[in-house]
């Protein structure tokens, strides 16, 4: 139901990330946590970003909203919102973009809200920061938003404090806060990870419905392939700071082009194949300090060839997707080199 066939390609991109690099200077040298990441998000589109922890997906999200935690910094590339470059804006300019044009949802609703202020105060404060509304109008809008995210008795609940809400309800409040000023894009970083499984589906459904109604695009960062399959139009698979594969969600799930994605898909349990053991990828993602030469995935890859040990593959067309794997080298050279060592 997710990839409803409507192509994102015929719309101008809302968000354009080009060759993004995020660095962390440490005493053991500079770590390249996000390495040459490029993707686009069209207006109203849901892009899933999936990968193991440490793959750089959250950092990419933080870089987009301009809130990388120091000493992390954008070291290269561009981020454009509706054609306007936003990665090099002064703090005050970027502040006006945040909340107004790009909303954000973080992982833990229990800690995302200031415990000392009522949810109403936090909503009204955000609304009045971005929209020219009177206190009364802002309060009305806050109540409407709470109703929209499905908080029963919004008129009374608006004056309650965060600790008086359950986890799922708090995440609804957080979604309302992200939608306050009608942003065009929401960066949702693991929005359901901290929630009960039974509530996860509700929150995801809510997010999806609201964004469709408001025409808001979403960058949905998660490690949960199930959530992506259900929600996203397209998916970007990240591995060790790079995009391994990107494409329409249905194609990526059905026919993964990158060996890593293949392994990832194999680890999703599916109904009907109960007896089968879930496939798993041997080994673990390398630490940022120990990324091997060539393709970062090569130590764990079943199709590894000589070339994979030496040369780093960029994204190349593979069916309707694009994958960073020499198996899809348009010149066919990579494929040839691969065979030799496949069983070694």
Partner 1 sequence: MLAFILRRLMQSVAVLLAVGLVSFSLFRYVGDPINAMVGQDTPAVEREALRVKLGLNDPAPIQFVRFIANAAHGQFGLSYRTAEPVSRMILERLPATLELSFCAALFALLVGIPMGVYTGLYPRHWTSRLLQAVSLIGVSLPTFLIGILLILFFSVILRWLPSFGRGETVTIGWWTTNFLRWKGLEALILPSITLGLFQLTLLMRLVRSEMLEVMRTDYIKFARARGLTNRAINFGHALKNTLVPVITVTGLQLGSLIAFAIVTETVFAWPGVGQLFIQSVQFSDIPVMAAYLMLIGLFFVIINLVVDLLYFVVDPRLRGQMGRRAGAH
Q: Which two tokens stand for residue 265?
A: 């898909």
CB of 42 to partner 1, least distance (A): 22
**Part of the chain binding partner 1 (CB under 8 A), chosen from 47-55, 175-183, 196-204, 320-328:** 175-183
CB of 66 to partner 1, least distance (A): 9
Q: Which of 17, 42, 174, 338 binds partner 1 (CB under 8 A)?
A: 174
**Part of the chain binding partner 1 (CB under 8 A), chosen from 44-52, 102-110, 201-209, 246-254:** 102-110
**Distance of alpha carbon 262 from alpha carbon 33, whole angstroms:** 23
| Residue 99 found at the interface with partner 1 (CB under 8 A) | yes
**Distance of alpha carbon 55 from alpha carbon 66, whole angstroms:** 19
Q: Which of 163, 274, 277, 331 binds partner 1 (CB under 8 A)?
A: 163
CB of 106 to partner 1, least distance (A): 6
> Given 3-state DSSP classes, what are the helix, strand and coil percentages for the chain, each rounded to the nearest 5?
35, 25, 40
**Part of the chain binding partner 1 (CB under 8 A), chosen from 123-131, 199-207, 239-247, 284-292:** 123-131
Strand segments (E) across the chain: 13-26, 29-42, 46-50, 73-81, 84-85, 102-105, 185-189, 217-222, 234-239, 242-248, 316-318, 321-323
Q: Which of 75, 78, 129, 167 binds partner 1 (CB under 8 A)?
A: 129
Question: 176-235: which residues touch partner 1 (CB under 8 A)?
Answer: 177-178, 180-181
| Residue 106 found at the interface with partner 1 (CB under 8 A) | yes
Q: Position of tokens 């490029």? A: 38
**Distance of alpha carbon 66 from alpha carbon 92, whole angstroms:** 11
CB of 227 to partner 1, least distance (A): 21
**Distance of alpha carbon 38 from alpha carbon 256, whole angstroms:** 19
Whether the Cβ atoms of residue 338 and residue 305 lie closer than 8 Å to each other: yes
| Radius of gyration over every alpha carbon of the chain, rounded to an integer in angstroms | 21
Q: Which spans of this chain sit near partner 1 (rule: CB under 8 A)?
A: 65, 67, 95-100, 103-104, 106, 108, 111-118, 125-126, 129-130, 161, 163-164, 174, 177-178, 180-181
């Amino acid at each position: 139901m997710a990839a409803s066939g409507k192509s994102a390609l015929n719309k101008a991109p809302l968000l354009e990330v080009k060759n993004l690099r995020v660095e962390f200077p440490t005493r053991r040298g500079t770590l390249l946590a996000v390495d040459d990441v490029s993707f686009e998000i069209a207006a109203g589109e849901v892009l899933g970003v999936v990968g193991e922890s440490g793959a750089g997906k959250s950092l990419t999200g933080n870089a987009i909203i301009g809130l990388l935690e120091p000493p992390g910094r954008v070291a290269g590339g561009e981020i454009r919102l509706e054609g306007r470059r936003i990665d090099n804006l002064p703090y005050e300019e970027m502040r006006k973009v945040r909340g107004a044009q790009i909303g954000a949802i973080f992982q833990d609703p229990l800690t995302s809200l200031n415990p000392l202020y009522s949810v109403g105060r936090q909503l009204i404060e955000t609304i009045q920061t971005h929209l020219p509304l009177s206190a009364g109008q802002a309060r009305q809008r806050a109540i409407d938003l709470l109703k929209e995210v499905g908080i029963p008795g919004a008129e009374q609940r608006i004056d309650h404090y965060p600790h008086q809400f359950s986890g799922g309800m708090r995440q609804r409040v957080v979604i309302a806060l992200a939608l306050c000023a009608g942003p065009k894009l929401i960066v949702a970083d693991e929005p359901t990870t901290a929630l009960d499984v039974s509530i996860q589906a509700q929150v995801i459904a809510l997010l999806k419905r609201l964004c469709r109604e408001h025409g808001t695009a979403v960058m949905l960062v998660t490690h949960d392939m199930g959530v992506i399959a259900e929600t996203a139009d397209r998916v970007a698979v990240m591995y060790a700071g790079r995009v391994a594969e990107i494409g329409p969600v249905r194609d990526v799930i059905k026919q993964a082009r990158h060996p890593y994605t293949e392994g990832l898909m194999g680890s999703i349990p599916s109904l009907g194949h109960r007896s089968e053991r879930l496939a798993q990828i041997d080994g673990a993602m390398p630490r940022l300090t120990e990324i091997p030469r060539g393709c970062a995935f090569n130590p764990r890859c079943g199709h590894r060839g000589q070339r994979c040990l030496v040369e780093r593959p960029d994204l190349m067309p593979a069916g309707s997707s694009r994958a960073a794997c020499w198996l899809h080298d348009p010149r066919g050279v990579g494929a040839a080199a691969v065979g030799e060592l496949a069983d070694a």
